[in-house]
Amino acid sequence: MMAKLVRHLVPFHGTRSVTGPFTWRQRQIWRDMEVVPEAAYQVTQVMPVPGGLTVEDVLARIGVIVSRHEALRSLFGVDHGGEPGQRVLSAGVVAVDVLTVESRGETDLGRVLREAESGLADRPYDPAADLPFRALVCVIDDAPGMVILCASHLAADLTSMRLLVGELSEEVSAAAEGRAPTPPPRSRTPVDQALWEGSAEGRGRLEAALRYWAEQLALAPPQIFPPAAGPASTPRFWRGGLVSRAVPVALRTLATACHTTTSMVLLAATAALLGRMTGRPRCALRLVAPNRLAPELRYAVGHLAQEIVATIDVDGELFEDVVRETWSAAVRAYRHGLYDPRHADRLVRDVAVARGTVIDLSCYYDDQWVDPCRRREWTLLPPADLRAALADTVFRWEDRTEEDSLTFSLEVYDVFGEPDMIRISLMADTRYIPPGSIEAFLRGLERLLVTLTDGEVRLAEIHRPAGAAGGGTGDGTDGRADD
């Protein structure tokens, strides 16, 4: 296989040049980057390119996208008073790499794309001098086949990146078909969002969010996990991943039965299993609020998503009870997901002092999976077929690191090139959750979802994941719901 990388400078022309303050979310990201300056803080997406286009066609359409969105042509820094802010450029060039691969029928395209995506995200980024957006066009045997988009979290969250993929897909498809592209709806820019947050309406929204935070902090348990019986592993934080064919079908089946969404079912199952693992009647989880309910934010490109705490009662009798509690808790949390993190942090400290204990907010949940099937296209399988699909499940250790800020971090992803699969990833602090319990939790979550498709399960019948405090062997072989 032969490969050649060439960097192109693609011009862009926006409608205005403007400076403004950071949004609440940008301020939090900036603070995180100051604490861990070597972190990439990049988000990427991969999209295919239709046939019949040249590299120049694709580069021109990338220039259109950057011209359209102020977030992609902004620089970030601090003023003489030390206050962070952003400056939107009206014109300039954006760097786009073109990777040409002569496959000769032997190229592992998946590996090429993974390496290119990692290289794009890991490239050093100076927010004061570099645009927060970069891209790579992969050319296979003389034809552009894939585009990788990459942006700093200062400029885009995952939803924004998916919107950008949709817009660029429309641009290149229109070019291939010889028609005019359909423009996206107008939306609020990051600078305008920051100005709204400082307005009377924005301050009112903040006050409501802080009232919600105070209520949740009063309910959150002081410590979710007791220390494990043995010492922490080395490195201390381990990430395990489960790739499953059974879980997507089980989620669709349960969402249909419970009249809810697949995301709510998965969150409810996670909370229920956490309750069994810890022996707590209530779990406090940090969820990710998209913050796109307002029409002007629905199609906005910027970083709007923020973490918001939600306490979920898991002491009901049946799993259906937890689904109802989860829906209620999550909807309220998402309604108050837009806030200034400086005020929330101060409130956490004040409530901890008032309660006389540290409040444990170290459990995180983020469902990034996008079901490739529309609801009306769902095919539901009998429980026996779902149990058979468990044979296709693969668990592997994905990462180990010595430092992290969370005790329990569960994230859910698509599997590139495998639309029928889902990947559930759990990073945990082995001081509280031994490696055996990480694998057992993921396998137990899958088994619980599959078992629930065969009928309701009483919460007391759910096995505690192996190796958790209070029982288990730590070998990762338990963690099943009773069949």
Query: Which amino acid is residue 451, in one-letter code?
Result: T
For each of the chain's 483 residues, which pLDDT tens digit applies? 567 899 999 999 999 999 999 999 999 999 988 877 666 678 999 999 999 999 999 999 999 999 999 999 999 999 888 899 999 999 999 999 999 987 655 557 778 888 888 899 888 899 999 999 999 999 988 899 999 999 999 999 999 999 999 999 999 999 999 999 999 999 999 999 999 999 999 999 999 999 999 999 999 988 888 877 778 999 999 999 999 999 999 999 999 999 999 999 999 999 999 999 998 999 999 999 999 999 999 999 999 999 999 999 999 999 999 999 999 999 999 999 999 999 999 999 999 999 999 899 999 999 999 998 887 788 788 888 899 999 999 999 999 999 888 999 999 999 988 889 999 999 999 999 999 999 999 999 999 999 999 988 888 888 777 545 443 333 333 333 333
**Tokens 């602090």, located at residue:** 429
Closest CA to 302 of 169, 132, 134: 132
Which helix or strand (DSSP H or E) is residue 284 part of? strand 282-289
The beta strands (E) that lie in 212-281 are given as 237-244
Alpha carbons 410 and 428: distance in angstroms, whole number:
9
Is residue 262 classed as helix, strand or coil in its secondary structure? helix
* Percent of residues in the chain assigned helix, strand, coil, to nearest 5: 40, 25, 35
- For CATH 3.30.559.10, list the domain ranges present in the chain: 2-187
The whole-angstrom separation of Cα 275 and Cα 351 is 24
Determine which helix (DSSP H) or strand (DSSP E) holds 12, and give its type and residue range.
strand 2-13
**What 3-state DSSP class applies to 471?**
coil
Q: How many C-beta neighbours within 10 Å does residue 275 have?
A: 23
Query: Domain 198-461 adopts which CATH fold?
Result: Chloramphenicol Acetyltransferase (3.30.559)
- The single-letter DSSP state of residue 297 is G
Q: For the packed helices 190-197 and 200-219, what is the interaxial angle rounded to 10 degrees? A: 80
Q: Which residue has the tokens 């450029």?
A: 89
pLDDT of residue 36: 74
Of 338, 467, 464, which is closest to residue 27 (Cα–Cα)? 338
Q: What is the pLDDT of residue 104?
A: 59
CATH topology of domain 2-187: Chloramphenicol Acetyltransferase (3.30.559)
What phi and psi, each to the nearest 5 degrees, are found at residue 78? -120, 150
Q: What is the pTM of this model?
A: 0.90
Q: Which two tokens stand for residue 354?
A: 């008032």
Q: Give the whole-angstrom CA distance, residue 161 versus residue 226.
A: 38
User: CA 55 to CA 109: how far, in whole Å?
Assistant: 18
Instruction: Answer for the pair 40, 32: CB distance below 8 angstroms, yes or no.
Output: no
Spatial separation of the C-alpha atoms in residues 173 and 171, rounded to whole Å: 6
All CATH 3.30.559.30 domain ranges in the chain, comma separated: 198-461
Tell me the Cα Rg of the chain. 23
